[in-house]
Amino acid sequence: MSATSRGFVRAFTISLSSSSPPPHLSNSTAAGIVVSRFLGGGRRPLPLPPCFALSRSIRTAVSDRRDSGLAAVMSSNKRKGQKKWKAKKNQNGSSMMEGASSSTADTIVESLEELSISRLPVNEPSTMSQFGNVEQNRTSVPGQKTVWKPRTYGTTTVDVQSLPGNQINIGNQTDVAGVNEKKSVDLSAAFGPDLLENFNVDNTTYLHAQIRATFYPKFENEKSDQEVRTRMIEMVSRGLATLEVSLKHSGSLFMYAGHEGGAYAKNSFGNIYTAVGTFVLGRMFQGSWGALASKKQADFNEFLEKNRMCVSMELVTAVLGDHGQRPKEDYVVVTAVTELGHGKPRFYSTPEIIAFCREWRLPTNHVWLFSTRKSVTSFFVAFDALCEEGTATPVCKALDEVADISVPGSKDHIKSQGEILEGLVARIVSRESSKHMEDVLRNFSIPPVDGAGLVLGPNLREICAANRSDEKQQVKALLESVGSSFCPDTVDWFGKEAGDRSRTADKSVLTKFLQAHAADYSTKKLQEMVRLMREKRFPAAFKCYYNFHKVDSLSKDNLFYKMVVHVHSDSAFRRYQKEMRHNPHLWPLYRGFFVDVNLFKANKERAAELAKASNVTDRTNGSSDTLVSNDLADEDANLMIKLKFLTYKLRTFLIRNGLSVLFKEGPAAYRNYYLKQMNTWGTSAAKQRELSKMLDEWAVFIRRKCGNKQLSSDLYLSEAEPFLEQYAKRSPANQALIGSAGNLVRSEDFLAIIEGVDEEGDLGRDHVVASSTPVPTKETKTKQEGLIVFFPGIPGCAKSALCKEILTASGGLGDDRPVHSLMGDLIKGKYWQKIAEERRKKPYSIILADKNAPNEEVWRQIEDMCRSTRASAVPVIPDSEGTDSNPFSLDALAVFIFRVLQRVNHPGSLDKASPNAGYVLLMFYHLYEGKDRKLFEAELMDRFGSLVKMSLLKSDRNPLPDPVKSVLEEGINLYKLHVGRHGRLESTKGTYANEWAKWEKKLREILFSNAEYLNDIQVPFEFAVGKVLEQLKEVAKGDFSTPSAERKKLGTIVFAAVSLPVSEVQDLITNISKTNSDVEAFIKDKRLGETLTKAHVTLAHKRSHGVVAVANYGQFLNQKFPVELTAFLFSDKLAALEARLGSIDGEKVDSLNEWPHVTVWFGQGASAKDANTLPQLLLQGKANRVEIDPPCVVSGEVKFF
């Protein structure tokens, strides 16, 4: 047995409990179980390969030795209930993993070598692992020493022992076709067109295709992000699964399958990306292993080749172009380990990845596990509190505190990359993942770093800087520097010899790929995938290249190629996933997808054998490609969500990706671009204002500096980072906005020469929202969701007339969805419930909600409809400047009233015959009171992600005539008096009935005497309708795949509070005033009926108490419980109700404020938070207190704001 296998056996010998093995496993197989063999766990653990299965006697011998030398200690943080891991050291300070003597390991190895693989028990097909089921692949060749071959993974593969000759050897250097002797060919002609052209497909032609490298499939959640989060919380709360969260390092995908298997980027190989990745990975081995690096590099290559495995990594470097921050050092972090076998790939679970990486001393990522309702809800709340300003330090600190298990990565993001954190990846894994992680951390200690301090020669940046002539020169220098032990040949980059032609093979390879007979079941499934994608015209390319590694096996009847499956657009993954729902037996469409292709001829006897192999069907009756147990439905098992931080998106999406818009289309188009991006993300209104100010300044700065020459996106941080650093220094608010800036690593002198290739594709149209209207295609024309058009306006804003024009518009809104309207004045009963019913009946229609939607209560109903009926919503508002406290100006109000007074026979009886028409419009006008125009528009954008404005008034109009302005102000003052005394009582009743009648008459006289002015200042209706139709068509064309109304729920969180019913709080204060003259005198002029619109008891604030304190209330979100209001305290500038909080499910809900209270009023010069000082003011004699006896009990609900 090789040294590699011996080392790996030593690493995987771990102690197990004394319980008997499951009935489907033998004792030796059960002893080999390390961790669950699926991504994140599964229904039951899977065994290790036979050579790792230890007999009871061997296990006992090792266990005795390990008790003193291989134990690991888990220290528990009792206060938080967290599990932090440290590897125990032995007395001489060395790692206990090293404590196992080599003699013990040698004994194990010798015992294993004596075991005949043919005598080992055959396992029944085990429970599904990640992306496939598992079988044993036992190959025993007469006359050769028995060796272990990796098990094959996938739906199924041929059982080699059931075939004649007990050997297939497809694509090997032996008798490949079974009848043809190997024909040597001249290298000058080996890769020319003649060889392929003369290879004709007939009944003797077979194809053997094997996946050589791949990354996880790109799963697209059918549900919205909010629905995914809710489902994740539910699954963890019910004990069905665990939530796993990992850091997202900002770099490029790099995959390594051994020096012959190849090095791959996302969609290519044999270029600067893979050369840089190979160099960095090789240098990581040197740093970890020191003097043993060369041997370990060779062992690692051999291990990957023999076991047909692929290791995927995030390649983080400053030489391949700028992302969110230039890293302080160049490194890789392992993100996936894949066993490719001879079938469907099997991806290691995270515990398995950590075990693998610690064995080979490869860098690991930071991982957190959340297995309880409290921890998982706290995680999402913590993210929402940090999403707009989070950087690596506070994010990692917060997650460390709320997670059940935290496993720090061997590569510290802060030290290696910096503070700017791209995001987090959260996914559902097995509920046993926590136990599996504990087992691995207990038995695989953190490896030492033997190469620390060694001089390793020129680093990546120095090599790239010294070789600036062209890409080929840089590649050559990098591969030479990495050494022959890790990179013994460079054929993937330069071919077999200097005279080789282009690597690209003729397109006819793909034709022959689909026409040839499948040599095994895996090949048949790959053909099925490619054929489907071509027939459906998916946006993908199948590029074929010569496989120079197989030149010694090449003959005229035996051809070898590499195929790259390059997916051009994310829409391909979505469409393919839809096909998988109709045909569950399809193999997944992977990211980073590379296939070894072997076309060959077979004689009649071999053809019969191969036909038998290809017809072997799925022994497990199919399997779904899920991330966790078969106990869960596919849509649950594949739940995954990416959570990105605004500080990263600011740099990459708003600055870098916006450069082309800024320089080609100008500042106005750039502003539209970044506003659309922020609206899509659901960025809070406050952050949008801050970012808009900063980005406008950036646009002026960079255009002034660069002129008409566009700044390179690869080097954009050279200008952006100093700008951001200076901007951040101006104020703490700017610093929070930027996140982190400064200490720029300059990369101009060592940037790799990429020659226009964007390997990651993150500058492509999938990631950039173009400023111009997208061109509709057949794919996007038919929408799979509805649209609600509604009108936050005032009577007289022309919504009904507009709806009629939309209904009769030629071509509708530009797609094939039906458009219909419901007029509020003609609907009996509750209007918005009727809209919801129509949405359910016609889910893919566009509905015009012809009714004023003036307040947040209505907006919330529309949001709920969007979520429950899968729709988007767009508000249409009259364009107006507004006032300091209202989104509509007096000019707009005058026009609205004038229009209403010209109506005749209005269905809602609001026309010139209405005696109180002016009062009704003032009532609607005051429904918007308290919001200026910016706040009004920002809140609508925040909720619904888009906004349509209807032109109303000409910009060059004359000022409002004084009589018109005076009569409107008179009516507003009268309205305030009326509401202050009578509330919502009609104007024809009450103390001010006569005043109202006189005002209504005066209003009509003045407006009609100024009719010419009021008609002249309005924008022509036809023009306004045309502009609205243009905007609505643009919205209808947009790819809104989820209800945008949810975005506010996913936005940043500032504090946790108990929300109380405002009406009950107002009634309580009114009742107190009736029995206490001091309170009556105090509230007399306070207009609490207008100013008190929200009531809550603050529980924790992230500025005062920290993010984790706020996050800990996540477990109580949306739950109701009793709140006692015990006293009313007031001073000359403040008023509040004292509160006593109750319990939820027996657990007391406590506020972190010293004095829990409900602020009900604050005067000029004071703020809501100043109400905290009322108890001190009371002691100083500057406030009054009125007891509420017995206390008033109201129902409160935990919310985040």
Tokens matching residue 163: 């075939």
Strand partners for 1195: 1122
Q: Do 316 and 250 touch, CB atoms closer than 8 A?
A: yes
Look at residue 6 and tell me whether its pLDDT is greater than 50: no
Mean pLDDT in residue range 968-979: 92
Give phi and psi for 336, each to the nearest 5.
Answer: -160, 145
Structure tokens at 225: 């992000």
Tokens matching residue 1143: 């319990």
Task: Report whether pLDDT(190) > 80.
Answer: no
220, pLDDT greater than 70: no
- The secondary element (H helix, E strand) that includes residue 62 is helix 56-69
Q: Which of 83, 149, 218, 248 is catalytic?
A: 248
Average pLDDT over residues 556-567: 92
Contact status, residue 690 vs residue 698, Cβ threshold 8 Å? no
Buried b (16+ CB within 10 A) or exposed e, 901-936: bebeebeeebbeebebbbbbbbbbbbebeebbbeeb
Q: Which of 315, 231, 361, 1183 has its CA nearest to residue 759?
A: 315
What pLDDT is attached to residue 632? Answer: 53
d(CA 942, CA 927): 19
Round to whole Å and give the CA distance between 465 and 750: 4
Q: Structure tokens of 806?
A: 């939309």
- Is residue 635 very low, low, confident or very high in pLDDT (cuts 50, 70, 90)? low
Displacement of CA 140 from its chain's centroid (Å): 47
The two structure tokens encoding residue 1069: 């204060």
Rounded to 10 degrees, what is the CA torsion of 877, 879, 881, 884?
Answer: 0
According to DSSP, residue 953 is labeled B
Q: Would you say residue 576 has pLDDT above 60?
A: yes
Which range has the top average pLDDT, 136-145, 609-618, 1044-1053? 609-618
| Integer Cα distance of 737 and 687 in angstroms | 8
pLDDT in tens, 272-281: 999 999 999 9
Q: How confident is the model at residue 501 (pLDDT cuts 50, 70, 90)?
A: very low
- Comparing CA positions, the residue from 256, 308, 317 lying closest to residue 487 is 256
pLDDT single digits (tens) 1111-1152: 999 999 889 999 999 999 999 999 999 999 999 988 999 999
CB atoms < 10 A from the CB of 99, how many? 20
Torsion angles phi and psi, residue 923, rounded to 5? -60, -45
Q: Is 182 a catalytic residue?
A: no
Instruction: Name the H helices within 361-459.
Output: 373-386, 392-402, 413-416, 433-443
Check whether 885 has a pLDDT greater than 90.
no
Helices (H) and strands (E) in the chain, counts: 45, 32
Residues 6+ apart with CB under 8 A from 756: none
Residue 191: pLDDT band with limits 50, 70, 90? low
Distance between CA 185 and CA 849 in Å, rounded? 75
As a whole number of angstroms, the distance between CA 1027 and CA 881 comes to 18
Q: What pLDDT does residue 2 have?
A: 43
For the ranges 2-11, 830-839, 1129-1138, the maximum mean pLDDT occurs at: 1129-1138
Q: What angle do CA 584, 228, 774 make, to 5 degrees?
A: 85
* CA distance linking residue 1025 with residue 809, whole number of Å: 10
- pLDDT band of residue 192 (cuts 50, 70, 90) is low
Distance from C-alpha of 302 to C-alpha of 279, rounded to nearest angstrom: 18
The predicted model gives 917-933 an average pLDDT of 88
Q: Return the sign of the alpha-carbon dihedral for residues 1173, 1175, 1179, 1185.
A: positive
**DSSP secondary structure, 5-24, as one string:** HHHHHHHH-----SSPPPTT
Mean of the per-residue pLDDT values of the chain:
78
Write out the two tokens for 1: 């047995």
Which range in 452-456, 732-736, 891-895 is most confidently predicted, on average pLDDT? 891-895
Reading the block at residue 36, the tokens are: 């669950």
Structure tokens at 606: 């071999």
In the block, which residue shows the tokens 């095994």? 520
Instruction: Taking each helix axis as running N to C, give the angle between helix 890-900 and helix 993-1009, from 0 to 180 degrees, rounded to the nearest 10.
Output: 90
DSSP β-ladder status, 786-791 and 871-878: parallel
**Per-residue pLDDT band at 946 (split at 50, 70, 90):** confident
Q: Judging by beta carbons within 10 Å of its beta carbon (0-12, 13-18, 19+), is residue 765 exposed, middle or buried? A: exposed
DSSP string across 967-1033: HHHHHHHHHHHHHHHHTT--TTSSTTHHHHHHHHHHHHHHHHHTHHHHHHTBPPHHHHHHHHHHHHH
Strand 1184-1200 with 263-264, pairing? unpaired
The pLDDT-based confidence of 626 (bands split at 50, 70, 90) is: very low
Q: Name the band, by pLDDT with cuts 50, 70 and 90, for residue 1155.
A: very high
Query: Residues, the chain, total?
Result: 1201
In angstroms, the CA 263 to CA 422 distance is 25
How many other C-beta atoms can be found within 10 angstroms of the C-beta atom of residue 584? 11
Query: Which letter, b or e, does each residue of 1139-1170 get, where b requires 16 or more Cβ atoms within 10 Å of its Cβ?
Result: bebeeeeeeebebbbeebbbbbbbeeebeeeb
Distances (CA, A) of 532 to 62, 479, 525, 558, 581: 52, 38, 11, 26, 14
Tell me what pLDDT residue 858 has. Answer: 86
Distance of CA 953 to the CA centre of its chain: 43
Pairing of strands 346-347, 331-339: antiparallel
Tell whether the model's pLDDT for residue 23 goes beyond 60: no
Q: Which two tokens stand for residue 947?
A: 């906004």
Looking at residue 1051, its pLDDT comes to 52
Between CA 604 and CA 608, with CA 606 as vertex, the angle to 5 degrees is 70
Lowest mean pLDDT among 109-118, 403-412, 811-820, 862-871: 109-118
Which pLDDT value is given to residue 161? Answer: 31
Distant-in-sequence, close-in-space partners of 644: CB < 8 Å, separation ≥ 6: 248, 422, 423
pLDDT, residue 181, reads 40
User: Two tokens at 581?
Assistant: 């729902």
pLDDT score of 518: 92
Examine the pLDDT at 870 and tell me if it is beyond 80: no
363 within 8 A of 332, measured Cβ to Cβ: yes
The tokens of 740 are what? Answer: 């982190």
Provide CB contacts within 8 A for 377, sequence distance 6+: 233, 1111, 1114, 1115, 1117
Distance CA 426, CA 377 (A): 13
pLDDT value of residue 68 = 33
DSSP state of 86: E
Burial class (CB in 10 A: 0-12, 13-18, 19+), 1074: exposed
The mean per-residue pLDDT over the stretch 26-34 comes to 33
* Dihedrals phi, psi of 610, to nearest 5 degrees: -70, -35
Q: Among 653-667, 861-875, 1023-1037, name the most confident range.
A: 653-667
pLDDT tier at 442 (50, 70, 90 boundaries)? very high
Quick one: CA dihedral 711, 713, 716, 720, positive or negative?
positive
Q: What are residue 593's phi and psi, to 5 degrees?
A: -120, 110
Start-to-end Cα distance in the chain: 63
Q: Which residue has the higher pLDDT, 180 or 70?
A: 180
**Which residue type occupies 30?**
A
With a pLDDT cut of 70, the percent of the chain lying above it is: 76
Peptide bond into 49 cis (omega under 30): no
What tokens appear for 743 in the block? 């200490």
